[in-house]
Amino acid sequence: MKFTTLPVAALALGAMAATPSRVQYKPTLVDRDVATISSIISTIDGLAADLGSTVEAFSGDIGPVGAAASALLSGIADGVSTIKESDELVLTDALQLQPPVQKLTATANDVVDAVIAKKPDFVAADAGGIVYQQLKDQQTGAQQLTEAITSKVPESVRDIAATLAAGINEAFQRGVDAYSDQEGQTPGKGGSSSSAPQSSSAAPTKTSSASSGGRTSPTGTGSPSGHPSGSGGAKPPKPTGSSPPKPTGPSPPIYTGAASANKVGGLVAAMAVAVAVF
């Protein structure tokens, strides 16, 4: 009986060992982060594609292009902020970012190609400076996105990731270089100056002829002739020396010829006094 029970016990133990234990898989925080980053890159890729389509449809109105460019910049800014708040990725998860990054790089190059092809139209619409600034802003955003993605991959492959993501930044830099001659151009700048104020060709000039005796007034008009200048003679010159000391007692009024009317009045008064005495 002992020999028959041992094989049965061995078989029972073998059956128990062969039964696999069930382990429930729970997503980790790293899994959620890689999915979030991939979604962000895909969203930015879609916004870039929308901008490219809007550029290709440009026919003179810069408004839709500006709106699409602003939407792209906003998407990049939001994505960079979210990526910075995420945890670092392990190597296997970091490898999952390669396809969406490569797709975004290709889309960015397509957008820049369209913008460069439309440069004559943008310049003709007096919008070259606006497009240049948009490209500058997009290049800055792409640089920030590249740095944010690179900071989340393991340090051992960080240089490789930076090289891969740098293609996005290089695409927009190519557009900036193509529009560098439009830097500082604003709508209306460099146009015709017909509306500028005219030079002072109509400035007032002294057109009055010289008055008799070759004298002119300070305002350019001749002084009236025939003005009384005294009692039949020329007005005496004003003394240039120092004034004599004033007498201490009362003195008769002195007529200095300051006004010809005062002189005449003084002479008449003197004659009236003489007649009264005699």
Per 3-state DSSP, the chain is made up of helix, strand and coil in percentages (nearest 5) of 60, 0, 40
Q: How confident is the model at residue 35 (pLDDT cuts 50, 70, 90)?
A: very high
User: Which conformational region is residue 141 in: left (phi greater than 0), alpha (psi within -120 to 50 degrees), or beta?
Assistant: alpha
How many domains are contained in the chain?
1
Residue 69 has pLDDT above 60, yes or no: yes
Q: Identify whether 171 is part of a domain.
A: yes
Q: Identify whether 224 is part of a domain.
A: no
Q: Identify whether 267 is part of a domain.
A: no
Q: Identify whether 263 is part of a domain.
A: no
- What is the reported pTM? 0.57
Lowest mean pLDDT among 40-49, 165-174, 233-242: 233-242
Mean pLDDT (the chain, rounded): 72
Q: Identify whether 135 is part of a domain.
A: yes
**What is the domain range of residue 172?**
29-182
Name the percent of the chain lying above pLDDT 70.
56
231-255 tens-digit pLDDT: 444 444 554 544 445 545 444 444 4
Domain containing 61 — which CATH number? Answer: 1.20.1280.140
Using alpha carbons, select from 132, 139, 150, 167 the residue that is nearest to residue 72. Answer: 139
Q: Identify whether 201 is part of a domain.
A: no
Two structure tokens written together for 221: 């008009």
Q: Identify whether 164 is part of a domain.
A: yes
Q: Identify whether 274 is part of a domain.
A: no
Residue 181 has pLDDT above 90, yes or no: yes
